[in-house]
Amino acid sequence: MLADELSVIDADSSLWSAARPLLDNALRLEQQDDTYIWHGWRKSQVNAFLQRLPAHCTLLVGVWGTDEDDREQLILGCVCEVIEGEIHTIRTFETLADPDLPPVQELEPGFEHALALMRVARNSVAPVAWALFTDKTTWDEWLFATGEDEGEIDKGSVLASFAQQGRCVLLGSQAPHHH
């Protein structure tokens, strides 16, 4: 799941505070045996997903929430570089520098910025296998969804259901209808 020499590219980023707990829980999941389940996630499920990805690719996630003035603001923007089924680097959107990409504070949850983020990630890291763009409520519902008796759940099916409902956007080379 995680490479032995995992690198966090920009741990001092303002977006890192939202990504760090995810890494902490991924480390916890990886250190357990396969009977351990964290909010519906099982290590074998995550490993199987990563093994099906292209040999060198990225996974992007962008999550927007609303601030105190009810404006949409990016609260999680993360790029995971996957090599041979293991996550080797994690970086926030703040590392994706490009003259056509606005600063992270100005990124909006629309196709224009989503496609720009994917283009910059592809050009600076690796092709994008999957990119998920959503709101905080949908993200939390997906992340913490569990099966019966707090057990494992097919996270891919849950996410596909949310995408069909228009609650999130899934893009990338592995998406059925990618751009």
Q: What is the DSSP string of 84-149?
A: TTEEEEEEEGGG---TTS--GGG--SSHHHHHHHHHHHHHHT--EEEEEEEEHHHHHHHHT---GG
C-alpha to C-alpha distance for 159 and 81, rounded to whole angstroms: 21
58: β partners: 81, 128
Confidence at residue 179, expressed as pLDDT on a 0 to 100 scale: 40
Confidence at residue 173, expressed as pLDDT on a 0 to 100 scale: 81
14, 75 Cβ separation under 8 angstroms: no
Q: What is the pLDDT along the chain (179 residues), one digit of tens a residue?
A: 888 898 999 888 888 989 998 888 898 888 988 888 888 888 899 999 999 999 999 999 999 998 888 888 999 999 999 999 999 999 999 999 899 899 998 998 888 999 999 999 999 999 999 999 999 999 999 999 988 888 889 999 999 999 999 999 988 887 665 44
Confidence at residue 3, expressed as pLDDT on a 0 to 100 scale: 85
Confidence at residue 148, expressed as pLDDT on a 0 to 100 scale: 87
Confidence at residue 117, expressed as pLDDT on a 0 to 100 scale: 95
C-alpha to C-alpha distance for 135 and 74, rounded to whole angstroms: 9
Rounded to two decimals, the pTM is 0.90
128-135 and 168-171 as β-strands: parallel, antiparallel, unpaired? Answer: antiparallel
Which residues, 6+ apart, have CB-to-CB distance to 45 below 8 Å?
Answer: 152, 154, 155
Confidence at residue 175, expressed as pLDDT on a 0 to 100 scale: 67
